[in-house]
């Protein structure tokens, strides 16, 4: 349990009081949203496609595959899911399937092993995928004396590492059950997604004595509208179509760091080919062997 200073487990009626972890380091800032200094305010950031370009789980899967800790069929499935994220087509059913699968293939592995591997994979595959604009906004909140939390359906171990490396206050993430230092392949409660994210933020705000009307939240997905609607200052970052429409309708801030739509479309096409080609190449190589 040394890897986690504080963690909220879901049990019975308290199943919405989910997962927390805290850490601090350094980060850089360059951005342009004016914020008042307010110790009772905080900022909540989604991870995938909001702070990180693409899906953290896919990068973790690729890193584990490179270490022979993951099967080829798994990396192909994660490749398809990465494309869905790149296309902005995050689907609740796909999320449930993807996260549940990701947290079951680690069954039997030690917590220490996954934490060590995740640290390495962050440096190898994620560090250069952080959106500078979103990171700068997070740092701006910190500079104003506000706490900044990642709130993600990704495994809490991965979220914790990213939060620590970026100098954030901590992270809320999906918790995989472990006994005697080894994962059982089951979740503690459910995935931290959709309405559960909002419930976790509400619970965290109560514990930390935060005023949600003074808080900010950032996400790319319409699935996070419940979390965004909780705070006084919601912001759509690299939004999917549904979130963009909702944000415009309700006068929410919008920040898009993906460049022109045409460039984004060309990038998606290139990424689609790259991911699909890599996955097929892996399969072909395995067959030749």
* Residues with catalytic roles: 46, 48
Q: Could you tell me if 130 and 161 are in contact, meaning their C-beta atoms sit under 8 angstroms apart?
A: no
- Using CA atoms, how far residue 53 sits from 50, 58, 77, in Å, is 7, 11, 18
Which residues lie across from 255 on neighbouring strands? 237
Contact (Cβ atoms closer than 8 angstroms) between residue 159 and residue 21: yes
Q: Which residue has the tokens 């171990």?
A: 157
Check if the beta carbon of residue 133 is closer than 8 Å to that of residue 255: yes
Give 186-208 as a DSSP string.
Answer: EESSS-S-THHHHHHHHHHHHHH
CA distance 131 to 257: 7
For the beta carbon of residue 263, count every other beta carbon within 10 angstroms. 10
């Amino acid at each position: 349990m040394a890897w986690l200073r504080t963690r909220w487990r879901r049990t019975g009626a308290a199943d919405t009081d989910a997962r927390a972890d805290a850490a601090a380091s350094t980060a850089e800032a360059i951005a342009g949203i004016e914020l008042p200094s307010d110790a009772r305010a905080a900022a909540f950031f989604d991870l995938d496609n909001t702070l990180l370009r693409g899906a953290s789980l896919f990068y973790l899967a690729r890193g584990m595959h490179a270490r022979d800790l993951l099967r080829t069929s798994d990396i192909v499935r994660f490749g398809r899911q990465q494309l869905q994220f790149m296309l902005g087509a995050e689907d609740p059913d796909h999320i449930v399937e993807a996260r549940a699968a990701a947290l079951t293939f680690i069954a039997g592995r030690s917590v220490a092993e996954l934490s060590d591997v995740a640290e390495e994979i962050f440096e190898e595959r994620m560090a250069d995928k952080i959106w500078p604009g979103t990171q700068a906004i997070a740092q701006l909140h910190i500079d104003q004396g506000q706490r900044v939390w990642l709130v993600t359906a990704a495994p809490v171990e991965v979220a914790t590492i990213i939060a620590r490396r970026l100098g954030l206050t901590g992270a809320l993430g999906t918790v995989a059950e472990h006994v005697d230092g080894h994962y059982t392949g089951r979740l503690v409660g459910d995935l931290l997604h959709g309405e559960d994210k909002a419930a976790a933020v509400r619970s965290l705000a109560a514990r930390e004595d935060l005023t949600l009307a003074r808080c900010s939240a950032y996400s790319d997905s319409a699935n996070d509208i419940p979390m965004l609607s909780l705070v006084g200052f919601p912001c759509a970052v690299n939004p999917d179509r549904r979130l963009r429409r909702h944000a415009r309708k309700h006068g929410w801030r919008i920040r898009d760091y993906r460049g022109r739509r045409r460039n984004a479309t060309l990038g998606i096409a290139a990424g689609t080919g790259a991911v699909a080609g890599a996955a097929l190449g892996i399969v072909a190589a395995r067959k030749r062997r």
